[in-house]
Amino acid sequence: MGKALIIGAGGVASVVVAKCCQNAEVFEEICIASRTKEKCDALKAKWDGGKTKITTARVDADKVDELVALIQKEKPDIVINVALPYQDLTIMDACLATKVDYVDTANYEPPDTAKFEYKWQWAYREKFKEAGITALLGSGFDPGVTGVFSAYAMKHEFDEINYIDILDANAGDHGYPFATNFNPEINIREVSAKGSYIEDGRWVETEPMEIKRVYNFPEIGEKDMYLLHHEELESLALNIKGIKRIRFFMTFSQSYLTHLKCLENVGMTSIEPIDFEGKQIVPLQFLKAVLPDPASLGPRTKGKTNIGCIFRGKKDGRDKTYYLYNVCDHEECYKEVGSQAISYTTGVPAMIGAMMVMTGKWKKPGVYNIEEFDPDPFMDALNRFGLPWQESHHPDLVE
């Protein structure tokens, strides 16, 4: 079928590469490009030898001209952005300049303010439409599969959905006192920010970790979970008919929270640069350098993740509840692709999103969130590529 340019060579990228190679009918060729070319070469060495042809390149994705030159040289059909959210806009600019489709897994975040929202990327809608190219935003798990689940529930189960609770549980144990499962800088910025949810069309803000609930997750058991701000709330509240309230909860262990509090109290999670021995450093970036590399957690992590959405709404005038979720086993993921479940649950949907656009199923000029497309082919692909979903019509609810 065609060629994808994968930007980034971290935890998520390594799963995207593995999954593209499992799907050589669609991904005949991939080019892995990142800041550190050695990481791209290591991925090529790991997956070379199958039907998918792999090349590598070095690129600074903060620089539009470098990206444009790379895209012109490689001539991909699509760019899969699995670098960091800070690179979203430069990569979108390069796609516009070269008229190539675009997929990412996280919305743009300015490096100097820990605030993520879609307004910067939604501002590209007209330009992408005029260029005749598709941007698919947020094709990871959350955001990503949670949006596909919502579109599927809307299409097949409800006339209107009034309440959505997105629950993200990780019962994985890596044996370290403290580590983050994906990029520590992005992860800590996310969890140390104020919480928020949408009710009656308005954002309601909470203190960080202010709202706690306990939920009994299928295949995982009872876990403490905390309400966080999360990017898909913003788009789902607009795109799903009838929403009165939408919330996002993630599980954290007491030990994780105690470490985080301590790091916060001593100033290590700050993104304000400080002067250190004549050099400006950002404490959170320094912390990232001393924490375990998320990619190194794979071989050590045991246990499962369970991520899904509980819907409440109406069908044929009657109240109805519905729960869609996926359970993913860290050790199984590691056996299959050499990564733990957090990278796996993000990398698989990133490949599927790119496949949807490349095969023409989701090819539509403009900038779209994932729930704006027909969920059915994506739901089928989840079952086929390692993230089978399960459903319940009588789930426990979150009060």
- C-alpha distances (whole Å) from 105 to each of 28, 291, 387 are 22, 23, 16
The minimum distance between CB 186 and ligand NDP, in angstroms, equals 5
What's the distance, Cα to Cα, between the start and end of the chain in Å? 48
C-beta of residue 217 within 8 angstroms of C-beta of residue 181: no
Stretch that binds ligand NDP, among 178-186, 212-220, 240-248, 253-261 (CB under 6 A): 178-186
Among residues 54, 106, 225, 324, which is the contact residue for ligand NDP, using CB under 6 A?
106
Residue whose CB is nearest to ligand NDP in the complex, by number: 10
The minimum distance between CB 348 and ligand NDP, in angstroms, equals 10
105 touches ligand NDP (CB under 6 A): yes
39 touches ligand NDP (CB under 6 A): yes
Among residues 74, 142, 329, 371, which is the contact residue for ligand NDP, using CB under 6 A?
142
183 touches ligand NDP (CB under 6 A): yes
353 touches ligand NDP (CB under 6 A): no
Instruction: Look at residues 306, 315, 296 and name the one whose alpha carbon lies nearest to residue 393.
Output: 315
Q: 101-104 and 134-137: which strand pairing? A: parallel
Instruction: Look at residues 180, 196, 181, 195 and name the one whose alpha carbon lies nearest to residue 268.
Output: 180
Among residues 5, 6, 9, 171, which is the contact residue for ligand NDP, using CB under 6 A?
9
**Scanning residues 75 to 94, which ones bind ligand NDP (CB under 6 A)?**
82-85, 87
34 touches ligand NDP (CB under 6 A): yes
- Based on CB atoms, which residue is closest to ligand NDP, 43 or 240? 43
C-beta of residue 244 within 8 angstroms of C-beta of residue 162: yes
Burial class of 194 by CB neighbour count within 10 A (0 to 12, 13 to 18, 19+):
middle
- Based on CB atoms, which residue is closest to ligand NDP, 82 or 131? 82
346 touches ligand NDP (CB under 6 A): yes
166 touches ligand NDP (CB under 6 A): no
Stretch that binds ligand NDP, among 8-16, 250-258, 310-318, 325-333 (CB under 6 A): 8-16
- Return all residues near 277 (Cβ < 8 A) that are at least 6 apart: none
The minimum distance between CB 53 and ligand NDP, in angstroms, equals 21
Scored b (16 or more CB within 10 A) or e, 24-63 reads eebbbbbbbbbbeeebbbebbeebeeeebebebbebebbe
- Based on CB atoms, which residue is closest to ligand NDP, 14 or 52? 14
Q: CA torsion angle for 122, 123, 127, 132 (degrees, to 10)?
A: 0
Stretch that binds ligand NDP, among 33-41, 200-208, 241-249, 326-334 (CB under 6 A): 33-41
The minimum distance between CB 398 and ligand NDP, in angstroms, equals 20
**Scanning residues 254 to 273, which ones bind ligand NDP (CB under 6 A)?**
none
Among residues 4, 5, 6, 10, which is the contact residue for ligand NDP, using CB under 6 A?
10
Among residues 4, 5, 6, 13, which is the contact residue for ligand NDP, using CB under 6 A?
13
Can you list the alpha helix ranges (DSSP code H) found in the chain? 11-22, 37-47, 64-74, 88-98, 119-122, 125-131, 145-156, 184-191, 231-239, 254-265, 283-290, 330-337, 341-358, 376-384
Among residues 17, 43, 61, 96, which is the contact residue for ligand NDP, using CB under 6 A?
61
- C-alpha distances (whole Å) from 43 to each of 15, 197, 385 are 10, 39, 19
60 touches ligand NDP (CB under 6 A): yes
List contacts with ligand NDP (CB under 6 A): 8-13, 34-36, 39, 59-62, 82-85, 87, 105-106, 140-144, 182-183, 186, 294, 346
